[in-house]
C-alpha cells in the first residue's frame, strides 16, 4: 500500500465514540517481535503478532514511537516526525500494520511526542544557527543571568538543570528531559502549525488516534518565572524517582500552562473529520487529576487522559482507590479518564504492588470495571513481573543516571516472551537489545495458551465481560465506597446497573449487599454473590459482580 487511507471495507465500523470504554493494548516496538534477527523488534514483527493481540478482544493498539531518531531516549527523541526509523522498517511496513489491525477489527493509535524533538531534528539544527533565522524562535531560547547561570531554576526530569548552554547562539535552550531533547516553543504559531501537519500526515495514512506524550508539557511560562519550592510533605515519586531533585519543586511555570488548552482545541479540530481520538499522558504529581478534568472537558478538547495515580509504587488500598475515583468524578464530571496500572515507564505492577496470581487477576477485573477507558501494557496479560537487568546491560539513560537507588525503565521493557523453544522466548533469532528474563520464560504465551487457569485466559474473559456489559464500558458510576479492604460501587447505563465489589487484600472481608434484587454475574471471573444472611463474604482477592434485576 502507498500513502492512502485504508479502504473502507478494511476499517473497523465508524463510531465516533469508539474510544469511550475502549481497551487499548500498548506495544513497545523494540521489544514486541523481531522479524529480521537483528535483536530489535520492528513493525513487520508487530504485524505478525497482531492476530494474537486481536485474540485478547482489545479495541485498539497504541504503538510507542517508531519515528526516525538517534535513539538517545529510544524514539522519544524524534528527528523526523513523518518517517520510520530504519531499525523498525519502512512506511510500507507501517501500512502493513494498519492494514492487518483493521482487518482484525482493531484501531491503531500512535505515540506522538510533540513537546520536544531530538537535537538532530532539522528544525533544531536550523534554530541553533542564529537568533534571526526562520526557525530561530521554534525552540525555547533564553539569555543567561548576568553571572552566566541559567535563566531560572527549572529542573530536568532526567536530572540536573533544564537548561543547556549553546555556544553558537550564546543562549540557553530548555530541555525538560535529556539535553538532546530540546523543547519546542508552542508560543510560536508556526510550531503549532507544523505539528498539526504532522498529525494530518499520520491521519491521512490511516491511524485512528494518538497517545500524546507529556501532554501537559507543551506550554511553558513565557516570563520564565522560577518554580517555588515544594514542601517535603507534599513530595512524592509518581513522576520522578524520589532521589531526583525534580520532586523538590512545585511545577507552576515549566508546564501546566492555561494556553495549552488553545492548542489542544486546534488538535481536536484536526482529528475530528477523521473520527480519530487521543489519550493524553499527564505528568504531574500534584494536579494530575485536575488537569485530566480540564483537558477532557466538553467536546472540543481531548477525548481521554490518564494521570499517574495508579502508576505509583505503593499498592493502593480500597480507601485510596475510592478517593481517586471519587476525585475524578468530581473534577472530570464532563470528561473521561483512561486507566493504566503498567506501561513502558514504570515497574510492572505485579512487582510494584507485590501481587500473586490471585492479586493480578483481581486487579485486572477491577480496572475493567472502572469508569473510563483502559490501557494494558504488553506482557501484563501474562502476569509478567519486572525483569532484573544487570547494570552492564542497562540501556535506559534514566536508570544509568540514578543507579542504584533507581534502576530505570529497562526492567519493564525486556522482550515479550512468546514461546520457550530458545533463550529469547521466540522474540528474536539474534541477540536481543535487552536480555530476556529467565523467569519470564516460564510465562510465555505458548505455555499459558495450554493452561486453562493461566492469567492470559483471565484477561480474555474479563475483557469479554466488559464488552458484554455496556454499563461497565460506557456507564456512569455512583459514589465509590471503601469498607475495610473492599472497594465497591455501581455502574449504570441505559437501564443496566451492575454492582462491583473487590477485596484488595489477602484476608477475608465482609460487607452488606446494597438493597434491591440482584443476580450474580461474572462467575467465570471468580465472582461470588451474597450469602443467606444478606452479607457479601469475599475471600482474599475476590470480586463480586451482580446485575440489578428490573422490578
The whole-number average pLDDT for the span 94-112 is 98
The whole-number average pLDDT for the span 141-163 is 97
pLDDT at position 124 over 80: yes
- 516 Cβ contact partners less than 8 Å away, ≥ 6 residues apart: 548, 549
Confidence of residue 8 (pLDDT cuts 50, 70, 90): very low
**3-state SS, residue 458:** helix
Strand partners, 418: none
pLDDT at position 6 over 50: no
- At residue 352, the pLDDT reads 96
Catalytic residue among 183, 281, 284, 477: 281
Residue 37 CB neighbours (<10 A) = 10
The whole-number average pLDDT for the span 155-172 is 96
C-alpha cell at 138: 521554534
Confidence of residue 63 (pLDDT cuts 50, 70, 90): very high
Residue bearing cell 506550554: 219
Q: Which CATH class is domain 474-548?
A: mainly beta
Q: What is the pLDDT of residues 330-357, one digit of tens each?
A: 999 999 999 999 999 999 999 999 999 9
Catalytic residue among 213, 284, 386, 477: 213
What whole-number distance in Å separates Cα of residue 21 and Cα of residue 259?
Answer: 29
Confirm whether 8-116+189-467 and 474-548 share one CATH topology. no
CB-CB contact of 205 with 43 (8 Å): no
Mean pLDDT of the residues in the chain: 94
163: enclosing H helix or E strand: strand 163-166
Domains in the chain: boundaries: 8-116+189-467, 474-548
Please state at what angle helix 357-367 crosses helix 455-468, rounded to 10 degrees. 20
> In this structure, is the dihedral angle defined by the CA atoms of residues 263, 264, 267 and 272, taken in order, positive or negative?
negative
* DSSP code, position 173: E
Confidence of residue 2 (pLDDT cuts 50, 70, 90): very low
Strand partners, 438: none
* Prior bond of 389 cis (ω within 30°): no
DSSP 62-124: EE---EE---TTTTSS-SEEEEE-TTT--HHHHHHHHHHHHHTT-EEEEEE--SB--TTSHHH
pLDDT at position 67 over 60: yes
**Which CATH number is associated with domain 8-116+189-467?**
3.20.20.80
Higher-pLDDT residue of 240 and 90 is: 90
Percent of the chain whose predicted confidence (pLDDT) is above 90: 87
Residue bearing cell 520492528: 42
Q: What is the pLDDT of residues 32-41, one digit of tens each?
A: 999 999 999 9
* DSSP code, position 27: E
What whole-number distance in Å separates Cα of residue 331 and Cα of residue 290?
Answer: 6
Query: Worst-scoring range by mean pLDDT, 4-13, 206-215, 235-244, 310-319?
Result: 4-13
C-alpha cell at 414: 525486556
Percent of the chain whose predicted confidence (pLDDT) is above 70: 96
Give the best-scoring range by mean pLDDT among 105-119, 235-249, 390-404.
Answer: 105-119
CB-CB contact of 180 with 186 (8 Å): no
CB-CB contact of 502 with 488 (8 Å): yes
213 catalytic residue (yes or no): yes
What whole-number distance in Å separates Cα of residue 160 and Cα of residue 56?
Answer: 42
386 catalytic residue (yes or no): no
What whole-number distance in Å separates Cα of residue 128 and Cα of residue 179?
Answer: 14
- At residue 405, the pLDDT reads 80
Amino acid at each position: 500500500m502507498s500513502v492512502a487511507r485504508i479502504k473502507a471495507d478494511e476499517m473497523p465500523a465508524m463510531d465516533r465514540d469508539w474510544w469511550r470504554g475502549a481497551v487499548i493494548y500498548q506495544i513497545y516496538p523494540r521489544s514486541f517481535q523481531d522479524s529480521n534477527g537483528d535483536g530489535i523488534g520492528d513493525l513487520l514483527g508487530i504485524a505478525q503478532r497482531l492476530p494474537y493481540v486481536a485474540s485478547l478482544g482489545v479495541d485498539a493498539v497504541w504503538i510507542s514511537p517508531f519515528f526516525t531518531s538517534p535513539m538517545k531516549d529510544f524514539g522519544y527523541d524524534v528527528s523526523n516526525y513523518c518517517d520510520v526509523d530504519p531499525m523498525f522498517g519502512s512506511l510500507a511496513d507501517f501500512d502493513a500494520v494498519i492494514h492487518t489491525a483493521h482487518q482484525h477489527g482493531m484501531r491503531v493509535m500512535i505515540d506522538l511526542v510533540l513537546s520536544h524533538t531530538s537535537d538532530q531534528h532539522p528544525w533544531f539544527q536550523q534554530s541553533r544557527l542564529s537568533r534571526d533565522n526562520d526557525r530561530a524562535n521554534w525552540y525555547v531560547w533564553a539569555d543567561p543571568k548576568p553571572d552566566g547561570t541559567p535563566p531560572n531554576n527549572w529542573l530536568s526530569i532526567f536530572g540536573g538543570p533544564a537548561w543547556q548552554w549553546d555556544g553558537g547562539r550564546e543562549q540557553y535552550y530548555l530541555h525538560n528531559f535529556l539535553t538532546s531533547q530540546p523543547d519546542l516553543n508552542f508560543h510560536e504559531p508556526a510550531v503549532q502549525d507544523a505539528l498539526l501537519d504532522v498529525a494530518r500526515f499520520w491521519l491521512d495514512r490511516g491511524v485512528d488516534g494518538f497517545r500524546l506524550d507529556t501532554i501537559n508539557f507543551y506550554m511553558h511560562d513565557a516570563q520564565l518565572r522560577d518554580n517555588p519550592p515544594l514542601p517535603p510533605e507534599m513530595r512524592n515519586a509518581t513522576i520522578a524517582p524520589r532521589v531526583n531533585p525534580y520532586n523538590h519543586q512545585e511545577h507552576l511555570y515549566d508546564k501546566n500552562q492555561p494556553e495549552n488548552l488553545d492548542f489542544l482545541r486546534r488538535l481536536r479540530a484536526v482529528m475530528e473529520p477523521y473520527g480519530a481520538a487521543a489519550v493524553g499522558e499527564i505528568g504531574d504529581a500534584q494536579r494530575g487529576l485536575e488537569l485530566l478534568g480540564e483537558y477532557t472537558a466538553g467536546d472540543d478538547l481531548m477525548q481521554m487522559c490518564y494521570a499517574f495515580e495508579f502508576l505509583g509504587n505503593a499498592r493502593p488500598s480500597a480507601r485510596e482507590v475510592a478517593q481517586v475515583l471519587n476525585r475524578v468524578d468530581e473534577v472530570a464530571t464532563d470528561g473521561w479518564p483512561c486507566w493504566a496500572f503498567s506501561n513502558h515507564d514504570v515497574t510492572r505492577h505485579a512487582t510494584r504492588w507485590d501481587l500473586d496470581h490471585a492479586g493480578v487477576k483481581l486487579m485486572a477485573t477491577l480496572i475493567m470495571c472502572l469508569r473510563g477507558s483502559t490501557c494494558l501494557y504488553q506482557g501484563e496479560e501474562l502476569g509478567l513481573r519486572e525483569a532484573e537487568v544487570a547494570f552492564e546491560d542497562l540501556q535506559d539513560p534514566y536508570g544509568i543516571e540514578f543507579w542504584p537507588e533507581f534502576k530505570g525503565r529497562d526492567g519493564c521493557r525486556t522482550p515479550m516472551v512468546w514461546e520457550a523453544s530458545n533463550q529469547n522466548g521466540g522474540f528474536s533469532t539474534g541477540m536481543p537489545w535487552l536480555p530476556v528474563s529467565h523467569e519470564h520464560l516460564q510465562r510465555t504465551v505458548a505455555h499459558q495458551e495450554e493452561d486453562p487457569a493461566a492469567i492470559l485466559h483471565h484477561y480474555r474473559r474479563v475483557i469479554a465481560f466488559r464488552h458484554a456489559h455496556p454499563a461497565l464500558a460506557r456507564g456512569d458510576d455512583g459514589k465509590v465506597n471503601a469498607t475495610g479492604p473492599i472497594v465497591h460501587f455501581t455502574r449504570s447505563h441505559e437501564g443496566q446497573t451492575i454492582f462491583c465489589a473487590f477485596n484488595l487484600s489477602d484476608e477475608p472481608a465482609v460487607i452488606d449487599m446494597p438493597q434491591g434484587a440482584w443476580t450474580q454475574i461474572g462467575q467465570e471471573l471468580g465472582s461470588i454473590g451474597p450469602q443467606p444472611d444478606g452479607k457479601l463474604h469475599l475471600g482474599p482477592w475476590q470480586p463480586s459482580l451482580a446485575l440489578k434485576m428490573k422490578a
